[in-house]
Amino acid sequence: MAKIIIVYYSMYGHVKTMAQKVKEGVDSVGCAEAVLYQVPETLPEEVLKKMGAPPKDADVPVIKASDLADADGIIFGIPTRFGMAAAQMKAFMDSTGGLWQGGKLAGKPAGIFFSTGTQGGGQETTAMTWLTQLVHHGMVYVPTGYHTPKMFQVDTPEGGSPWGAGTFAGADGSRMPSEFELERAKLQGEGFAKVALALKSADA
Ligand SMILES: Cc1cc2nc3c(=O)[nH]c(=O)nc-3n(C[C@H](O)[C@H](O)[C@H](O)COP(=O)(O)O)c2cc1C
């Protein structure tokens, strides 16, 4: 059984909704199971209140760096801030120095999915700039590529790219992931689990 960790930050629920679909995809493969975690919050309560952030989910545990060590693969769910990852995600990665020194994540597959407010708001730059985290840990980036013919056909704005599944929250945050974006999130989970299983069996 391959254990896949899906670790995300989600202030308004878009990334969380995508994370649940990615999990569905991983779990559908058989011999693979995804576990959801959220990263610790770094903003003070009063700032969160001003930003209109709802309370965090009690049902998703908050991750510690050591939780990553026994994963067979890690998928990162990232909301965009100013064209790159939300600082909460980076703050969590900054707590993984011990794992990095011990090479504990080296060789593990890693995927990325994301959410921006708008088209052109930084879906690909968020993924690209996150690669530094993976490279320094020696992780193996698993993109989705054009994993469904529908990616060539969309005529309405849809989030995501060959870098990973994605969604648009809309300028006011009111848009929720579309059916196509959720389908891609599930496909990403499926494809990722297959790669993780192959790497795990090659390692056995
Ligand atoms: C401080 C801040 C910076 C943001 N920067 C961007 C940005 O550069 N591009 C963009 O499209 N959206 C930006 N957004 C919108 C977020 O990406 C959006 O709220 C998020 O993807 C929603 O995901 P969530 O519901 O999981 O939190 C920003 C939001 C905040 C609060």
pLDDT for 143 = 98
CB atoms within 10 A of CB 198: 12
Chain segment 28-81, per-residue pLDDT in tens: 999 999 999 999 999 999 999 999 999 998 999 999 999 999 999 999 999 999
For ligand 1, say whether the CB of 11 is within 6 Å of any of its atoms: yes
How many domains does the chain divide into?
A: 1
Q: How far is the CA of 84 from the centre of ligand 1 (A)?
A: 9
Chain segment 113-165, per-residue pLDDT in tens: 999 999 999 999 999 999 999 999 999 999 999 999 999 988 889 999 999 99
Rg of the Cα atoms in the chain: 16
Q: Give the nearest ligand 1 atom to 16 CA.
A: 26
pLDDT for 99 = 98
pLDDT for 176 = 97
**Domain span holding position 156:** 2-203
CATH number of residue 185's parent domain:
3.40.50.360
The reported pTM is: 0.98
